[in-house]
Chains A and B, each alone.
Chain A
Amino acid sequence: MLLDVHDLHVEFHTRDGVAQAVNGVSYGVDEGETLAVLGESGSGKSVTAQAIMGILDVPPGRITGGEVIFRGRDLLTLKEEQRRKVRGAEMAMIFQDALSSLNPVISVGDQLGEMFTVHRGMSKKDARAEAVELMDRVRIPAARERVRQYPHQFSGGMRQRIMIAMALALEPALIIADEPTTALDVTVQAQVMELLAELQREYRMGLILITHDLGVVADVADRIAVMYAGRIVESAPVHDIYKAPAHPYTRGLLDSIPRLDQKGRELYAIRGLPPNLMDIPPGCAFHPRCPMARDVCRTDEPPLYEVTESEAGRGSACHFWRECLHG
């Protein structure tokens, strides 16, 4: 296993109290595998990623437990300087909004080249040549000329390609893409996603794709982990989930996708709102919104049950997963 996150806990200490952002998340990614992490805003999917990368804002954030085993060592026990050398070189991150995530006053060539000068000790000139090659690889036209330009001179799609190029620069083993296409036009989304998937296959990288777009997931992901209130509620190979979800929340998400054959009918939406992370409901955190909730859901927190009817490792944190799977 390339990356093995085990029982990760993250809290945020704010003036109003302690927000339990991540509550015992475990997931793993293999070489060349794509894991899609799904969930609403505030489900803890980005925070988990930031904890893995080691870019959590501390304080207010704090990792209170768990392990992040990457290539055989627990990143959480490493010293910051060792951690820094892993970042960017062995694992890299792609952010949602490329315009604000790229430095507005440094040319894209310098921002790309920096990876090589800092991590590889290359000369500025060689780094510049590498930058041009990277821009070529993510198919930015006229890379040689545009390498001197600044982020605001590129279109949204091109900017996101630059982010991807930056993440790929040192051929990391793992890439975490945090909603890489959310800020883009729909037509550009597909191109960028395709490019990312293609490069991932080429380099055999592990990819964690954080998204709330179920459409994107079906095409590129191998496995899906669905998060709710800082926990994984369902984890399964992508086809199993689309065929039959084993958790009512996953079912709710799937039912919320607009479908052509239901044209004219009212769109389905999961009722209620995600819980306040400072006051997560006892028992199953989803029970106030769950159509299947019973008394036991209000008192007993469900563990991640192994879904025995599926051959590949599949888990559901629902007391009534069997019912959900067949119902």
Chain B
Amino acid sequence: MGRYVVRRLLQMIPVFVGATLLIFLMVNVMGDPIAGLCGERRCDPATAARLEKEFGLDKPVWQQYLTYMGNVFTGDFGTAFNGQEVTELMATAFPVTIRLTVIAILFEVVVGIVLGVVTGLRRGRPVDTGVLLLTLVVISVPTFVTGLLLQLLLGVKWGWIRPSVSSEAPFDELILPGLVLASVSLAYVTRLTRTSIAENRRSDYVRTAVAKGLPRRRVITRHLLRTSLIPVVTFIGADIGFLMGGAIVTERIFNIHGVGYQIYQGILRQNTQTVVGFVTVLVLVFLVANLVVDLLYAVLDPRIRYA
């Protein structure tokens, strides 16, 4: 197990370098890093040259990348062009997004798995068909439509929630945005759990559990659920990374100043340091989440042993 973790951590290095290099190149080479600095106008050549020298943009790209990565590992993500430290932005943005992600994951786990188990056990019955249709609708309607619609109905028309989240973004105000963010994944978790449950329900070991005279509840929770959740856990784990970075749409709708919002602003204003910094952290989150999933896999299924 220990050796496996070390190997996996080593494998992360090339992936991390590749991913960050790619985003670095896209922003620094294809874009114009100083475009956003002089307001609406283009910078005059003299200022541009001065700025380029100041930010080290006159050096070759590989050298810029190395300098940047070197700084990152000392905890310095650079300064956004408005003078704010990128780490400072992160310190305000990540807690908000993490809260949002936690809520979304909770929705996926609780609602998704419960619905999946219920429908999986009652395959072909009205509940099953109803939920299945609902998930299909959720999957096919884009998030910004669901989000705006719920915001309009619950927030503006009926006044149940605040239509826009306040700057501290406390948990209770993030419930609806969390649900919106989770919606599509929630539908997938439901369907995945349903299929898995329905398949394993007919398995020999479930029949054995029944023949042992175990109560139905125990048969389901202990014998059926554990094996059925293996694929679901994989999906949810991979989804963590996705939710953290993919909240751009949801955060825009509900005016949440999280990671997605900052990246969006960064891209809009060609704020290189912000974009590269945030994406670098997200890449790390992705990698770690995937490692955790793989390790969790071995916990859930003892047939998988990493050596």
Q: Give A residues with C-beta under 8 Å from B.
A: 53, 55, 57, 84-89, 92-93, 95, 97, 100-107, 114-115, 118-119, 150, 152, 166
Contact = CB atoms under 8 A, between A and B. Distances in A.
Interface in B141-188: none
Interface stretch (B12-20, B209-217, B282-290): B209-217
A118 B218 contact: yes
Interface in B272-307: 300-303
Given A97-B204, A100-B205, A150-B302, A106 B223 contact: yes
Closest 7 CB pairs of A and B: A88-B213, A87-B213, A100-B204, A88-B212, A101-B204, A103-B205, A150-B302
A95 B208 contact: yes
Nearest to B302: A150
A105 B203 CA distance: 13
A55 B201 CA distance: 13
Nearest to A80: B216
Q: Which of B205, B212, B223 has the most CB of A within 10 A?
A: B212
B207 interface: yes
Contacts of B50: none
B195 interface: no
B7 interface: no
Given A53-B211, A84-B214, A100-B203, 12 more contacts: A55-B207, A87-B210, A88-B213, A100-B204, A103-B208, A103-B226, A103-B227, A105-B302, A106-B226, A118-B213, A119-B213, A150-B303
A128 B212 CA distance: 17
B303 A166 contact: no
B204 A118 contact: no
Contacts of B207: 55, 95, 101
A115 B302 contact: no
Given A95-B207, A104-B303, A166 B212 contact: yes
B211 A105 contact: no
Contacts of A115: 212
22 contacts: A55-B210, A84-B213, A86-B213, A88-B211, A89-B213, A95-B208, A97-B204, A101-B204, A101-B205, A101-B207, A102-B205, A103-B205, A105-B300, A105-B301, A105-B302, A114-B212, A114-B214, A115-B212, A118-B215, A119-B213, A150-B303, A166-B208
B222 interface: yes
A106 B205 CA distance: 11
B87 to A, nearest CB: 43
Contacts of A105: 226-227, 300-303
B303 A118 contact: no
A106 to B, nearest CB: 7
Nearest to A110: B222
A166 B226 CA distance: 21
Interface in B97-132: none
A169 B148 CA distance: 60
Contacts of B301: 104-105
A89 B205 CA distance: 18
Contacts of A119: 213
A53 B211 CA distance: 7
Contact of B208 (A84, A89, A101): A101
Contacts of A118: 212-215, 218
B213 A103 contact: no
A93 B209 CA distance: 11
A89 B209 CA distance: 13
Nearest to B208: A101
Given A118-B214, A118-B218, A104 B227 contact: yes
Nearest to B226: A105
A89 B214 CA distance: 10
Contacts of B227: 103-105
Contacts of A53: 211
Contacts of A95: 204, 207-208, 211
A156 to B, nearest CB: 15
B205 A104 contact: yes
A55 B209 CA distance: 10
A183 to B, nearest CB: 11
Contacts of A102: 205, 208
A139 to B, nearest CB: 21
Interface string B189-213: 0000000000000111101111111
Nearest to B205: A103
Contacts of A97: 204
Contacts of B222: 106, 114
Nearest to B229: A105
Nearest to B224: A103
A42 B144 CA distance: 56
